[in-house]
């Protein structure tokens, strides 16, 4: 059977939706699974063992977006898919699904449900990757088990190992922190991050490495400016180099976001700070025992983005996790 998965963006959702590919391939290794997403957001799917091919669409807006969509549709129709699954639940992804395959699957609560040949029911409110697995029910597949995959290649491993050696950082004896979020309401207060990291260095005697992505270095430097202790700023990294650092860290501290999901593929012990988003929906903790989150129920985004959590709250949770065996 030839199956198309459609999740166009953003990169965190593209990554967590790859859970469907993992489940499908384990159900029947003969399945040929393709994935459709936006160019740029496909990077975390590199060499995914369950995926036969990626179909990419360039980012455009307005009237200019029509031509790339039509070109993509033509490309998809040439593949003659047996099944297309609209994970994203947007009007144009629904049309792509129904026009690309003999059988199309979408959500029963979709406004365009009439386009699909088969509908899936959302069973319960849970981690988003688990919810998306409900889309496989029309194929007779029901499970709550899956794995993520990140292609951390030997080159990435070697580059990060060499950098860690230069910094005299030992495997498993440093804290990795990704304090920046591209979504402002998800980012915990930077001064509170600085206070937590100061306590980690001074009281736990563990060095801290600050991880950053494109356009984030100045914000990471702002965190170090608030600190009394000295933290180490990581070199520029791609997803795979960041993954290599995660594999060697004692713990990752981060916000709710793409890095939080990607870390699940590395096995690093992770603490994510949640505020205005629900960990019930966005924390990988129910699936991955290495994952943990801290959250104060009823907290909302506020002017200071503290989420009702103090630096001491987060430090105590980190201390608990550092002493907890997996």
The DSSP string of 165-226 is: HHTTPPTTSSEEEE---SSGGGPPPHHHHHHHHHHHHHHS---EEE---TT-HHHHHHHHHH
Q: How far is CA 174 from CA 73, 200, 259, in A?
A: 47, 10, 18
CB 263 within 8 A of CB 249: no
Helices (H), the chain: 11-16, 19-27, 66-78, 91-100, 128-132, 154-166, 190-203, 217-226, 239-248, 258-262, 279-282, 311-323
Q: Which residues contact 229 (CB under 8 A, 6 or more apart)?
A: 197, 198, 201, 202, 208
The CA distance from 126 to 135, in Å, is: 14
User: Looking at residue 122, what is its pLDDT?
Assistant: 86
**pLDDT of 283:** 95
Q: Are 209 and 228 in contact (CB under 8 A)?
A: no
Quote the pLDDT of residue 58: 83
d(CA 97, CA 94): 5
Sheet containing 291-294: give its strands across: 232-233, 208-210, 175-178, 251-255, 270-273, 291-294
Sign of CA dihedral 122, 125, 128, 131: negative
- What does the pLDDT profile of the chain (326 residues) look like in tens digits? 999 999 999 989 999 999 999 999 999 999 999 999 999 999 999 999 999 999 999 875 666 677 888 889 999 999 999 999 999 999 989 999 999 999 999 999 999 999 999 999 987 778 999 999 999 999 999 999 999 999 999 999 999 999 999 999 988 899 999 999 999 899 999 999 999 999 999 999 999 999 999 999 999 999 999 999 999 999 999 999 999 999 999 999 999 999 999 999 999 999 999 998 899 999 999 999 999 999 998 776 567 899 999 999 999 999 999 997 76
Look up residue 116 and give its DSSP letter: -
Domains identified in the chain and CATH numbers: 2-139 (3.40.50.2000), 154-323 (3.40.50.2000)
Q: What share of the chain is helix, strand, coil (3-state, %, to 5)?
A: 40, 15, 40
Question: Comparing C-alpha atoms, which of 248, 254, 325 is closest to residue 290?
Answer: 325
Q: Which residues lie across from 34 on neighbouring strands?
A: 4, 53
What is the dihedral sign for C-alpha 153, 143, 79, 120? negative
Contact 92/99 with Cβ under 8 angstroms? no
Q: Would you state the pLDDT for residue 192? A: 98
Contact 250, 266 (CB under 8 A): no
């Amino acid at each position: 059977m030839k199956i198309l998965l459609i999740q166009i963006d953003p990169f965190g959702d593209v990554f967590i939706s790859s859970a469907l590919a993992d489940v499908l391939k384990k159900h029947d290794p003969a399945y040929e699974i393709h994935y459709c997403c936006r160019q740029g957001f496909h990077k975390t799917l590199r060499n995914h063992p369950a995926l036969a091919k990626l179909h990419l669409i360039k980012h455009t807006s307005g009237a200019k977006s029509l031509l790339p969509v039509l070109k993509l549709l033509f490309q998809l129709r040439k593949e003659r898919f047996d099944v297309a699954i609209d994970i994203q639940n947007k009007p144009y992804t629904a049309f792509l699904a129904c026009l690309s395959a003999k059988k199309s699957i979408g959500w029963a609560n979709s406004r365009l449900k009439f386009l699909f040949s088969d509908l899936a029911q959302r069973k319960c409110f849970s981690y988003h990757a688990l919810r998306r697995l409900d889309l496989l029910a029309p194929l007779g597949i029901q499970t709550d088990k899956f794995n993520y995959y990140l292609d951390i290649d030997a080159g990435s491993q070697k580059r990060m190992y060499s950098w860690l050696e230069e910094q005299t950082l030992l495997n498993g004896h440093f804290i990795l922190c990704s304090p920046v979020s591209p979504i402002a309401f998800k980012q915990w207060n930077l001064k509170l991050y600085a206070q937590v990291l100061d306590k980690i260095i001074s009281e736990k005697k563990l060095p801290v490495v600050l991880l950053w992505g494109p356009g984030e270095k100045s914000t990471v430097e702002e965190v170090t400016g608030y600190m009394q202790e000295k933290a180490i700023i990581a070199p520029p990294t791609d997803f795979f180099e960041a993954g290599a650092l995660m594999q060697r860290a004692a713990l990752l501290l981060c916000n709710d976001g793409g890095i939080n999901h990607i870390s699940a593929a590395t096995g690093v012990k992770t603490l994510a700070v949640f505020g205005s988003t629900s960990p019930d929906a966005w924390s990988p903790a129910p699936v991955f025992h290495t994952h943990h989150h801290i959250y104060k129920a009823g907290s909302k985004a506020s002017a200071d983005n503290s989420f009702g959590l103090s630096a001491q709250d987060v430090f105590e949770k980190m201390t608990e996790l550092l002493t907890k065996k997996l």
